[in-house]
Amino acid sequence: MKNDRAQAIRQYLFSNGSSPIVSIAQAVGASVPTLRRDLAELEEQGVILRTHGGARLAEEFQVEVAFEQREAQSLAAKRAIGDLAYEMLQPGSSIFLDSGTTVLQLARRIRVNPIPLNVFTNCLPAAQMLIDVEGVKVTVLGGQLRKENSSMVGPLAEEMLQRLWFRQLFLGAGAIAEDGYLSSLDENEARLNSVMLARSEQRILLADCGKFGQRLTYRVAPLSDLHTVVTDDEMSAEWVERIEAIGVSVRQAEQPGGAR
C-alpha cells in the first residue's frame, strides 16, 4: 500500500467518521478490492477498525490525524516562517522549541540543514524529527503528555525548565488577541509557556497571520514580552505597526507566490 493512499484513507475517516467501503474507495481513487486489502493492512497496524461494510478510524489515531490536519493548515506560510527562523539560529547555542505546527517547521529545516545545536523541547514530534541529526543534541522535558499536540506539560516540566537557561526560545501560540496577549486552549500549556519566556534570553514568536486577532481561554503573556515576531507576508500592516510600536521587531517570511 502506498503511503499517500494510507494517509488519504486516514484523513477521510477522520473527517467523515465510520464510512462505507465504496465511499472510501471513491474518495481515495482506489478499486474496492484494493481498498479492502488496504483496510486489512491498516487494521493489522491498529490504525482503523473495520465495521460491517465499512471502516472507522481507531480512537487512538483520531488525535494524531487532528494534529496532521492542523499542520497542513497554512502550510506554505508555516514553512516560510520556519525557514526565516532558521536564519536566526546561532551554531552551538542552546535553544528551546515549543510545541506546535509552526515551530515544527523550524525543526524540519534543522533536520534538512543541520547545524550544531543543543535543542530542548517539550514537543515529541520535534524531538523525533531531530533525534538522529548529526551535531544536534536533543533534550526532552518530562511531565504529563498532552495528547492534543503530543507535548509535555505540567509541574514536572515547569520544574525542569526552572533549572535551565536558553539563548533563544522559539515559541508557538494558539492565538494572539486584539489586546496583544498570547493565549492557549490549555491551562498547563499556558503556564509552561510563561516559564519558557522567563528562562530565555531571546524570545521569538513563530505564528502565521491567521493567529492574530483570535482569542483562546488561557492567557500566556503580552506581545511586549517578546523580542521578535516571525510571521508571514500576509500579516496586516496594522498588526505590524502595533507590534513595532511596543518595541518588538517583526520579520515577515515571503511565501512562494505570496503577497510580498
CATH number, domain of 9, equals 1.10.10.10
Please tell me whether the overall predicted TM-score, pTM, comes out greater than 0.85 for this model.
no
Centre a 10 Å sphere on the Cβ of residue 60 and count the other Cβ atoms it contains: 10
Residues 65 and 87 in one domain: no
Q: pLDDT tens, 127-136? A: 999 999 999 9
Half-sphere exposure for 255 (CA within 13 Å, toward CB): 17
7 within a domain of the structure (yes/no): yes
Asked if the structure places residue 260 within a domain, the reply is no
In the chain, at which residue ranges do the beta strands (DSSP E only) sit? 19-20, 48-51, 54-57, 94-97, 117-121, 136-140, 144-146, 151-153, 166-171, 175-176, 181-184, 200-206, 218-222, 228-232, 249-253
Are 164 and 214 within one domain?
yes
CA-nearest of 167, 155, 179 to 227 is 167
- Choosing from 69, 100, 120, the residue where a domain stops is 69
As a whole number, mean pLDDT of residues 224-237 equals 96
| 226 shares a domain with 156 | yes
Is the residue at 259 inside a domain?
Answer: no
Residue 113 belongs to what domain range? 73-253
Maximum separation of any 2 CA atoms in the chain, in Å = 62
**What residue type is assigned to position 134 of the chain?**
E
Give pLDDT tens digits for 172-216: 998 999 999 999 988 999 999 999 999 999 999 999 998 999 888
Note whether residue 126 is domain-resident: yes
The verdict on 106 and 63 lying in the same domain is no
- pLDDT over 70 percentage in the chain: 91
Distance CA 143, CA 158 (A): 8
Residue with cell 498588526: 239
In a domain, 56, yes or no: yes
CATH number at residue 144: 3.40.50.1360
| Domain shared by 16 and 139, yes or no | no
246 and 121 in a common domain: yes
Residues 135 and 248 in one domain: yes
Q: What is the pLDDT of residues 30-60, one digit of tens each?
A: 999 999 999 999 888 877 889 888 998 776 5
Give how many domains the chain has, as a whole number. Answer: 2
